């Protein structure tokens, strides 16, 4: 063989090996820094979560990252409360650019929840020796991440007849810079439990969700879109058997949920939607249609508000917990004042129900408008009285009111007398202007602005105020 060719091949091989070894060293260093930073970032935003142990055993082509999270507070000496929950995770990292010599990537990371030996053996009997939680992550050379998170299906039976069924979960997550996308599937879950005080049965089926979020930093400021569906939700709750009361039952099916939010010039706006059908007891809801919105929510003030609520209400500091309600109230008021100059608004755009072929609908919006910096010095109640705005309306079938009289009357008594009482009440409310009656429909409109309440366009005197 030509000596120059042999030298060229050997040189190329050495160069390739140097690239692989050098790349592994670089990506290994980056992986260590990033992986160790993630649990600490969780700890910053979730006070009840604490990183109690973290280690990183690094080799040239691989590494093992282990960390333990504590959820909950360590009880004080002599306290009756139980120990906090400890979760240990192990991450096996294969460094790029050729992780495991099977692909081209910056790193491949396999994450597993590590259980104590006794718990591991008990769970293995339920899951067929499958780990309770695994995640396989591929980190691309450009920094993009793809993770598949999986939990196995299992069935748990308790000593008193309790049952918990889990049909497994799969979630795919893609992250590229500030964009985060997910796709979740859970075929179903069920819970059944009984004791001397209560019996409960719940079933979920056909859960799917997908969406994307954009932005970085706080979880509260991630704008994006999401969609989800729930094929079935059934819930039955009953009190003590000795009381012989019928169980409270509700069910929903064909549920669709969606949301979208945006962050523009420091202000958050968003809309959420919910639709489906269901039943509460023997009352069938043929159609449910709901939409809610938020507008002009000042992002920085909202972030402070949420973080203060997390910090104070979930603190493990006994001294801080003793004054938590007072601290929380004061901080919430300050954060709320920070929202007001931007004219925030929350609205129930639509709450529509169809029952027995008849449709009723209601909506309202509440906001604060036109608050100046000088007016922020006023006490919050006085400020809201002068600047808060409320508007709403409702329209529902007369037949629903008649059914409500019978239902809440327990179906007992003189039906004719109940009908007469209802007619007297509606006549009085119509005469006083609270309700407008149009054929077999009842409607009302209301508003509050600059301290004045209007019902169907007529001023409503405040309690204690002289009649006009």
Cβ(293)–Cβ(367) under 8 Å? no
346: closest CA among 306, 301, 392, 293? 293
| Measured distance CA(360)–CA(403) in Å, rounded | 14
Cβ(98)–Cβ(22) under 8 Å? no
| Bridge partners, residue 230, by sequence | 207, 255
Please calculate the CA angle 306-293-453 and round it to the nearest 5 degrees: 100
Count helices and strands (H / E) in the chain: 8, 22
| Measured distance CA(83)–CA(180) in Å, rounded | 34
Q: Which residues contact 147 (CB under 8 A, 6 or more apart)?
A: 135, 136, 137, 138, 172, 173, 174, 175
At residue 247, φ and ψ (nearest 5 deg) are -65, 150
Task: Print pLDDT tens along the chain (468 aa).
Answer: 455 445 555 555 555 555 555 666 656 677 777 787 877 777 776 767 788 888 999 888 888 999 888 887 766 555 555 677 788 889 999 988 888 778 888 889 899 988 887 777 777 777 777 888 899 999 888 888 899 999 999 888 877 778 899 999 999 999 887 888 999 999 999 999 887 788 899 999 999 999 999 877 676 778 899 999 999 999 998 877 656 677 889 999 999 999 999 999 999 999 999 999 999 988 899 999 999 999 999 999 988 888 777 766 556 655 555 555 666 677 778 888 889 999 999 999 999 999 989 999 999 999 999 899 888 888 888 888 899 999 999 999 998 888 877 766 544 556 677 777 878 888 888 888 899 999 899 999 999 998 889 999 888 765 444 544
| Measured distance CA(251)–CA(281) in Å, rounded | 8
**pLDDT at res. 50:** 83
**pLDDT at res. 413:** 56
Phi-psi category of residue 410: left, alpha or beta, with phi > 0 → left and psi -120 to 50 → alpha: left
DSSP secondary structure string for all residues of 381-392: HHHHHHHEEEEE
**pLDDT at res. 252:** 95
Cβ(434)–Cβ(454) under 8 Å? no
367: closest CA among 385, 348, 344? 344
Specify burial of residue 208 (Cβ count, 10 A radius: 0-12, 13-18, 19+): middle
**pLDDT at res. 468:** 47
| Measured distance CA(460)–CA(468) in Å, rounded | 9
pTM of the prediction?
0.79
Q: Which residue has the tokens 């959820």?
A: 71
**pLDDT at res. 5:** 47
For 103-147, what is each residue's pLDDT tens digit?
888 889 899 988 887 777 777 777 777 888 899 999 888 888 899
**Two structure tokens written together for 383:** 């400020």
């Amino acid at each position: 063989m030509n000596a120059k060719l042999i030298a060229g091949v050997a040189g190329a091989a050495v160069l390739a090996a140097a690239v692989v070894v050098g790349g592994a060293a670089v990506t290994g260093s980056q992986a260590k820094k990033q992986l160790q930073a993630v649990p600490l970032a969780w700890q910053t935003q979730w006070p009840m979560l604490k990183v109690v142990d973290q280690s990183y055993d690094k080799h040239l082509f691989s590494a093992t990252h282990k960390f333990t999270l504590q959820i909950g507070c360590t009880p004080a000496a002599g306290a009756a409360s139980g120990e906090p929950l400890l979760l240990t995770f192990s991450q096996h990292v294969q460094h790029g650019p050729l992780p495991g010599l099977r692909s081209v990537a910056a790193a491949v990371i396999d994450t597993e929840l590590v259980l104590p030996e006794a718990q591991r053996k008990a769970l293995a009997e339920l899951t067929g020796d499958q780990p309770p939680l695994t995640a396989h992550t591929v980190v691309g050379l450009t920094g993009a991440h793809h993770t598949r998170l999986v939990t196995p299906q299992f069935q748990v039976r308790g000593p008193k007849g309790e049952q918990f069924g889990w049909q497994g979960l799969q979630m795919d997550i893609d992250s590229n810079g500030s964009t985060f996308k997910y796709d979740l599937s859970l075929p179903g879950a069920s819970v059944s439990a009984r004791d001397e005080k209560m019996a409960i049965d719940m079933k979920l089926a056909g859960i799917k969700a997908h969406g994307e979020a954009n932005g970085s930093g706080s979880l509260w400021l991630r704008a994006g879109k999401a969609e989800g569906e729930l094929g079935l939700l059934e819930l039955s709750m009953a009190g003590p058997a000795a009381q012989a009361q019928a169980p409270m039952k509700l069910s929903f099916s064909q549920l669709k949920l969606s949301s979208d939010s945006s962050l523009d010039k420091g202000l958050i706006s968003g809309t959420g939607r919910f639709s489906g059908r269901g039943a509460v007891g023997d009352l069938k809801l043929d159609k449910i249609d709901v939409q809610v919105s938020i507008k002009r929510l000042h992002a920085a003030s909202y972030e402070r508000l949420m973080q203060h609520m997390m910090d104070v209400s979930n603190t493990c500091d006994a001294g801080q917990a003793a004054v938590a309600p007072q601290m929380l109230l004061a901080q919430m008021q300050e954060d709320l004042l920070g929202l007001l100059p931007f004219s925030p608004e929350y609205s129930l755009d639509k709450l529509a129900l169809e029952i027995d072929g008849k449709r009723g609908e209601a909506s309202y919006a509440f906001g604060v408008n036109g608050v100046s910096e000088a007016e922020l010095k006023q006490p919050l109640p006085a400020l809201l009285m002068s600047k808060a705005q409320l508007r709403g309306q409702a329209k529902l079938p007369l037949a629903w009111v008649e059914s409500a009289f019978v239902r809440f009357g327990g179906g007992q008594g003189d039906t004719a007398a109940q009908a007469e009482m209802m007619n007297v009440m509606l006549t009085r409310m119509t005469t006083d202007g609270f309700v407008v009656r149009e054929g077999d429909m009842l409607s009302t409109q209301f508003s509050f602005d600059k301290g004045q309440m209007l019902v169907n366009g007529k001023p409503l005197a405040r309690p204690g105020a002289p009649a006009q």
